[in-house]
Structure 1
Amino acid sequence: MLPEQTHVRHGLAHLEEGFGVGFASPIQVVVAVENQAITEPQLLEKLSTLHEELEQIPNVEEVSSLFSFFPNLEAPDIHSLLTEHQQQLHEDDWMLINRHVSKNNHAAVFDVITTDHSSSDTNRSIVQDIRDRLATTEDYEIYVGGETAEGMDTSKSLNDRLPMVLTFTLLLLFFVLVVTFRSLLLPLKAIVLNILSLGATYGILVIVFQWGFGSTIFGFGDFGFIQSFIPILLLGLLFSLSTDYEVFLLSRVQEEYQKGMSNEESVAIGLEKKPLL
């Protein structure tokens, strides 16, 4: 969401124009084995099939893996080249191979380059499709990583815990205000108003930063999403600020009332001499 004139946005634009939108953040599929080398002929046959399955997923532009460097070789030939005839490969070849095969020879990486950016619905659908279609087998385990998968898992983890955090925050707020003001109505009123202000904040956040209304005025782009940590961060921040301010304000009103002022006079003086934000 940086302004378009920044160097980062310019660099990203050139990268997407020259190599494709999905090149900067590929989906990474990791295959791990324990009891055998990843370059065994039988396993290479299965990994070659996996490579082809990944290429057939809709909106996948390219799959980069060990087999990208040996497109015309069968699994036994690749095994022989990597184990018995290593001298035929140059140093540059090994640099590319080691990009996709681990040093201990027990893991392989497939870079799945898509037609869209990492936070798009397209990429999320591809990650979910890979997880649904490609299950772990007796021969190997499959893990899906990369920026898209990380964002999905982080969002799910935060969303699963958001109701618990909200409930704990409301209960703690209610208890603190009951002890402070010895009233049940004031804490309930504070909770209702806090929820309304939080909802309004979330609404403006979505309208401006996710839907893009006013993005040209403020000078940032709209990517159709909000960072996953923002809602829970705002929850704690807004509740803390509003509660602190309410305690300051009502404490001032209470002081005037204890001096003998009427309800109306206490509220008026409390509002007049309220602390500044």
Structure 2
Amino acid sequence: MKKIRKSISRDIVGKRFQSMLSVSKTPAECRRLLEVANKSFLEAINRAQNNQILDLSMKLEVVYYLEAVLVLKHLQRPGVVTNMTVYEWEKRVHHQHVTPECTAYFTVIGVQLHKTLTHQVAAFALTENEEMWFKIYYEHIRPTFLKKNSTEEAFFVSSSGKKIYKVSNDLRRYHNRFNLPNITSQFIRRICETWTMKTCSDADKYIFASYLSHTNKTADRCYREKILTDLCSASLLVTRAGTSSRISGQVKNSRRRTEEPEDDFMQPQRKIRQFTRFTKQQCDDS
């Protein structure tokens, strides 16, 4: 009994220590890895795009960086990254998001299997460059990991061709490579939530919580069936929390979209209906 009490006390002290550390961290500091690793990542992704030979370390560089983008920038839980499937990638929806300040193009992906499966489909909105990175990984790097006649459905796979075992382990190794303190999903989500509470309106707090897939109104149907416009607004809000302007998003020789929407971009209302039907089907199946 005495040993149990000591163990509990250590756990409490550890949690208080982590809480104390979180006070001194900013979203930008938590996302330092994305800035430091950006140069080596772009080198690897450019080589893959140009069909140049990549060694294993460069391939893993791409995998780890994309995982970090989802966890540290888009604040998705590791379970979302692990369980995202090829089917969900192929069903992604493009959306032209218009605000008074600008017009932006996003790619929205819904993931059914994750920690809060019983409440709603997890979803995130990638920028144009991020979608291009994911596409290059999917077409040029992922196939090199798969075994012959593989039926692996996971989008992210390890060098053995199997579903990634633990995203948190990958991110820990990636942080260690650049001599940075390890930042977990839970830690950065808490930091950004604190930032939101201090700086955002009630409306922004709601869409922020929706993007993170947790809220007190989890039974609200309109929360489960996330609307594309809200998702894109939330993505801008989430990624603005400490994102450094020094992080480059350019891929050499990439094709840039014009101000006019491409032919393969459906009209916004059609896309909203399509994604709503998809998320509703996913929730009903669960």
The bucket for the TM-score relative to the shorter chain is under 0.3
TM superposition score normalised by structure 1: 0.22
**Higher-Rg member (1/2):** 1
Higher helix share: 1
**Larger RCO (alpha carbons 8 Å, 6+ apart):** 2
TM superposition score normalised by structure 2: 0.22
